[in-house]
Amino acid sequence: MLGNASNNRQDAAPAGIIGTCDAMRKVYRITRRVAVSNASVLILGETGVGKELIAGAVHQLSHRSGRPFVRVNCGALSESLLESELFGHVRGAFTGAVNNRTGRFEAAEGGTIFLDEINSTSLTLQVKLLRVLQEKEFERVGDTSTLRTDVRIIAASNRNLMDEVRAGRFREDLYWRLNVVPIEIPPLRDRREDVPALVSFFLDHYNELNDRYVAHIGPGTMEAMQDYHWPGNVRELQNYIERAVVMAETDELLIDLLPECVTSGNPGTIMSPSGEQPIDLDSATKSMVYMGLNQAGKESNDVYREVVDHVERELIAQVLRDCGGVQTKAATRLGMNRNTLHKKIKELGLDG
């Protein structure tokens, strides 16, 4: 763990979390305060900021730390599969249910369940989650026996859930039950002073993993990384450091080892997570990106959200075209689960 704060300070980084900027210290303070309670927690932040790490810290700092910490990516499964994954099912509940199956809520008994991408759940499933929160009970799929549960729920979303409520995609009553204590994690572009510490951490990690010794930072390299806007946040930085360690021919992290989107500072070029060729957006989209970046950090959050949605739509549309409309191939190139891609296609109106 990096940082010079002692563990008994409320703003000290929990184990395994990197960052000492003021915004992250606020996150740590809230994390430590809420951890000792049984309150539900809603973690907000863009994709790649480290929401699961904070959820894990809440669990580890709580009195439930000796019990299971169970993770569920709600965006990775269809509605029917997700319901079975969460609540379990009995034999014969549906085609293929040849045995009884324990769900994640049962597996997390006495501990914590982390529901990532909670915004992707259906309204029907949201009713059942609300019941678990309020009544502490549920039934397995295909069963009539009611099961009691003692599980703390931590949810996360990369979208503004109140906007989802206004759009009719998320239940307001569930929102208020989840949003007892919100923790908002800042994007990496708003905590650039933490980039050197993150780079050092990832260098150590991937040097050890790959038996390498890339220990020095070349001229201009750190400056380029701190100037970049990091649309993929910490996860994007981690990806590029791993790639640089693998490709380095010396013990130095040279600027040439970073992708052009970092070294040029051009937000109109996006590298696909799979490491294929950069995806060049059209001029109109580039203009939107520049406008959004200029608004970032100011009060124009709605404008920035529109820009991100627009870029996401154009990116997915272009990758689908390049992949001949094959969603499995497009999902692989985009670095996401096929079911998540299918939901985004519907949300963004690309299925018409």
- Give the CATH number, domain containing residue 64: 3.40.50.300
Q: Are 117 and 157 within 8 A, CB to CB?
A: yes
Q: Are residues 38 and 168 in the same domain?
A: yes
Does residue 284 fall inside a structural domain?
Answer: yes
Q: What is the DSSP string of 235-264?
A: HHHHHHHHHHHHH-SSSEE-GGGS-HHHHH
Given 135, 151, 186, the domain boundary residue is 186
Q: Are residues 139 and 44 in the same domain?
A: yes
Q: Are residues 74 and 155 in the same domain?
A: yes
Q: If residue 280 lies in a helix (H) or strand (E), which one and from where to where?
A: strand 279-280
Distance between CA 293 and CA 286 in Å, rounded? Answer: 11
Q: Are residues 158 and 193 in the same domain?
A: no
Q: What is the CATH number of the domain that holds 336?
A: 1.10.10.60
The predicted pLDDT at position 6 comes to: 42
Does residue 13 fall inside a structural domain?
Answer: no
Q: Are residues 104 and 168 in the same domain?
A: yes
Question: pLDDT grade, residue 20 (50/70/90)?
Answer: very high
Q: Are residues 111 and 72 in the same domain?
A: yes
Q: Are residues 202 and 99 in the same domain?
A: no
Does residue 1 fall inside a structural domain?
Answer: no
Q: Is the pLDDT of residue 5 over 60?
A: no
Given 234, 265, 296, the domain boundary residue is 265
Q: Are 122 and 168 within 8 A, CB to CB?
A: no
Q: Are residues 274 and 177 in the same domain?
A: no
Q: Is the pLDDT of residue 340 over 90?
A: no
Residue 227 makes CB contacts below 8 A (sequence gap 6+) with 192, 265
Does residue 346 fall inside a structural domain?
Answer: yes
Helix (H, G, I), strand (E, B) or coil at 270: strand
Q: Are 77 and 339 within 8 A, CB to CB?
A: yes
The predicted pLDDT at position 197 comes to: 96
Distance between CA 340 and CA 113 in Å, rounded? Answer: 20
DSSP E strands, 23-68: 41-44
Q: What is the DSSP letter of 75?
A: G
Average pLDDT over residues 207-219: 94
Q: What is the CATH number of the domain that holds 230?
A: 1.10.8.60
Q: Are residues 275 and 241 in the same domain?
A: no
Question: pLDDT grade, residue 201 (50/70/90)?
Answer: very high
133-180 pLDDT per residue, tens: 999 999 888 888 899 999 999 999 988 999 999 999 999 999 999 999
The predicted pLDDT at position 125 comes to: 94
Q: Structural domain tally of the chain?
A: 3
Q: Is the pLDDT of residue 102 over 60?
A: yes
Distance between CA 62 and CA 31 in Å, rounded? Answer: 10
CB atoms within 10 A of CB 14: 19
Helix (H, G, I), strand (E, B) or coil at 211: coil
Given 151, 186, 221, the domain boundary residue is 186
Q: Are residues 80 and 165 in the same domain?
A: yes
Does residue 14 fall inside a structural domain?
Answer: no
Helix (H, G, I), strand (E, B) or coil at 144: coil
Distance between CA 328 and CA 334 in Å, rounded? Answer: 10
Q: Are residues 229 and 310 in the same domain?
A: no
Q: Is the pLDDT of residue 80 over 90?
A: no
How far CA 55 is from CA of 28, 72, 266, in Å, comes to 11, 12, 33
Does residue 175 fall inside a structural domain?
Answer: yes
Does residue 182 fall inside a structural domain?
Answer: yes
Q: Are residues 28 and 166 in the same domain?
A: yes
What domain range is 213 assigned to?
188-265
Average pLDDT over residues 295-324: 66
Helix axes 301-322, 338-347, angle to 10 degrees: 120
Does residue 73 fall inside a structural domain?
Answer: yes
Q: Which position has the higher pLDDT, 39 or 91?
A: 39
